[in-house]
Structure 1
Amino acid sequence: MTDFVALLGTKGGPAIRSGSPMPTSSLLSLGGQRIVVDAGLGVTRGLCDQGMALKDIRTVFITHLHSDHYLELGPLLHTAWTAGLKTPVRIWGPSGLAAYFEGFFLSMREDIDTRIEDEGRPDLRDLVSCHVIRDGEAIIEGGITAVAMPSIHPPLRESWSLSFRGAGRHVVFSGDTAHNPALADFARGADLLIHEAMLAEGLEALQRRIGNGDDRLMAHWLRAHTLAEDAARVAAEAGVGALALHHLIPSDDPDFGVTDWQCACAPHWQGPLHVGRDGLRIDLPLLG
């Protein structure tokens, strides 16, 4: 059985436009166990496109509460429920997720109650449980152990980088973060580092295209996200097996493509490089 990571949505930021990628979500598969990491808009279709039955969702990790990482979390689980979900789902993430689900279930109360009464389904509200991620605490889900480290993503206080180990594999997600040299130790020797990335030369055009943010938007990018070359430096320092660029900023500018990302990384990283695109499946090498 092949272990892999699928990048379901690779766009940094919540907006979508004609032809653009979808916001951030991923699927981790180790030893036959699957974990959803983030649930931006499009995650439900992305999982189906990877051949995953939605009723088989058991575990979801949310790195932080920006909408491009959890906007479709409630709809994902509701859709899974209508597709046959009847077993518990554990959601790991920031403390605010409990309030999110209170609001979501309230907004969908009429539909949920009707389907319970009219179709005999179990109560979705009883299947979903939220659990708070804590710095350095081991989280065991089946045969996979996850550990979190705070990322640098102001102004949010609960924002996480995640390390997953299972089936002899080690996969690390940077989450959204400013350049964080501590990630090198956190990801030391990982088979795959999945790191967010920006192209500096594309930021001004992106700000103009968005059109309704002022200089604070640019300031946020620069203080809360990582340039591609810095992601490459972290990968090299960590000695990882491969680097994948995720949560790309910009992601839908025709003036920038795969070659630009490769050129940004090349001075600092010469190992295998995967430039994120929606639906990209990265198979982990067979164990020797």
Structure 2
Amino acid sequence: MSTFIRNTRHRPISRFFVPLFVASLLVASPAVAGCKGDVAVQILGSGGPIANSSRASSGYLVWIKGEARLLVDAGGGTFARFGEAGAHVDSLDAILLTHLHVDHSVELPAYLKSAWFSDRKRNLQLVGPSASGAFPAIDDFLNALIGPTQGAYRYLSGYLTDGAGYFPLKTRTVAHDSDKPVIVLDNDELRVSAIGVRHGPVPALGYLVESGGHKIAFSGDQNGNNPAFAKMIESADVLIMDHAIPEKADRIAANLHARPSEIAKLATDAKVGRLVLSHIMPRSESQLKASQSLISATYTGPIIVAEDMMCIDLERILKPHDHSSQ
């Protein structure tokens, strides 16, 4: 492997981060857009709600045997990254939304419009949280977008009414205040569990994806104050953790997001194999070096800083649930 770890967009990662994960992160060949491993996760968007020239908003793909099977979040810019990755809506089993903030959900209609041009016939499941305050439940959110009478994009309502040329789109609502995991997808190759997480007043979910003996955890936006999430993701090979604030963030920001010390505690308590810091905003990126040092003082596993189009091949890092390197 060369001195510079490269992601699939040919953008080199800083030498500063290489010693932390050079032995643990294996990315796809620069000639390949998607992830080709048996079980892999690809970062479509590693940023947050602020426009960024190098980071799209939140979005991830889970690849199984060379096919994109799960889309986790659909923030701004991820639709283009999805195409860049060579992914196809035909192969998706589900779209998982952690919550309905703009930077996690705004491009859902773009994916649906693109899907109309596919040959897909089978159902596509859309999973999201229940309602609270200013945020609707996932089914009401979808109806507001593409409902046949009042939907903003009602010309796509065939997904809800079995219109000609459309495949069925089915919603699955998970209670955002539940402390018990709910299985939202279970087939021969994938098992997905969801649980409520704390994101201030915003209803939100965290997810655990299991496939081929591997576990991939997605924190979504959360403040880290739900031990049930740590329990659900115990011994995950990878935890993709939103890192939006520095340690000295104010109380309001810390009610929404986990501080670095809280990220370290969560990753340690859950005994995750490696930690991927994503959803990086200017306020956290400017203090990234200090935050990594703080996290590594408690969490002793490899720390990876997410970059758009980065591919993490779980078959090539550690054997399933082998955390001896910690």
- Counterpart amino acid of 1:28? V
Cα offset for 1:178?
Answer: 0.6
Secondary structure, counterpart of 2:279 in structure 1: strand
What whole-Å deviation, never above 9, does each CA across 1:223-258 have from its counterpart, x for those lacking one?
Answer: 1101123212221222211111121233796x455x
Secondary structure, counterpart of 1:102 in structure 2: helix
RMSD: 2.7
CA distance in 1, matches of 2:107, 2:291: 28
User: Is residue 151 of structure 1 aligned with residue 187 of structure 2?
Assistant: no
| Conserved 8 A contact 1:172-1:187 | yes
> 1:173 maps to what in 2?
218
Change (3 A) 1:245 1:131: same
> 2:116 maps to what in 1?
81
> 2:45 maps to what in 1?
9
- 1:127-276 matches, within 5 Å, as 127-134=168-175, 135=178, 136-142=181-187, 143-156=189-202, 158-180=203-225, 182=227, 183-200=229-246, 219-250=251-282, 255-256=286-287, 259-276=289-306
Cα offset for 1:273?
Answer: 1.2
Cα offset for 1:56?
Answer: 2.5
Secondary structure, counterpart of 1:107 in structure 2: coil
CA distance in 1, matches of 2:206, 2:78: 20
- 1:29-178 matches, within 5 Å, as 29-30=63-64, 34-95=69-130, 96-105=137-146, 106-110=151-155, 122-124=164-166, 126-134=167-175, 135=178, 136-142=181-187, 143-156=189-202, 158-178=203-223
| Conserved 8 A contact 1:47-1:54 | no
CA distance in 2, matches of 1:16, 1:165: 32
User: Is residue 28 of structure 1 aligned with residue 58 of structure 2?
Assistant: no
Cα offset for 1:275?
Answer: 0.7
The alignment's TM-score, normalised by the length of structure 2, stands at 0.71
Deviates more, 1:75-84 or 1:19-28: 75-84
- Counterpart amino acid of 1:187? I
Cα offset for 1:199?
Answer: 4.1
| Conserved 8 A contact 2:182-2:195 | no
Secondary structure, counterpart of 1:140 in structure 2: strand
Q: Which runs of 5+ in 2 are unaligned?
A: 1-36, 131-136, 321-326
> 1:213 maps to what in 2?
none
- 1:270-285 matches, within 5 Å, as 270-285=300-315
CA distance in 1, matches of 2:310, 2:290: 18
Change (3 A) 1:228 1:260: same
Secondary structure, counterpart of 2:111 in structure 1: helix
Change (3 A) 1:109 1:177: closer
Cα offset for 1:153?
Answer: 0.9
| Conserved 8 A contact 1:20-1:252 | no
| Conserved 8 A contact 2:191-2:211 | yes
| Runs of 4+ with deviation above 6 angstroms | none
Aligned residues: 261
CA distance in 2, matches of 1:184, 1:102: 33
Cα offset for 1:168?
Answer: 0.8
Secondary structure, counterpart of 1:146 in structure 2: strand
CA distance in 1, matches of 2:118, 2:283: 32
| Conserved 8 A contact 1:21-1:252 | no
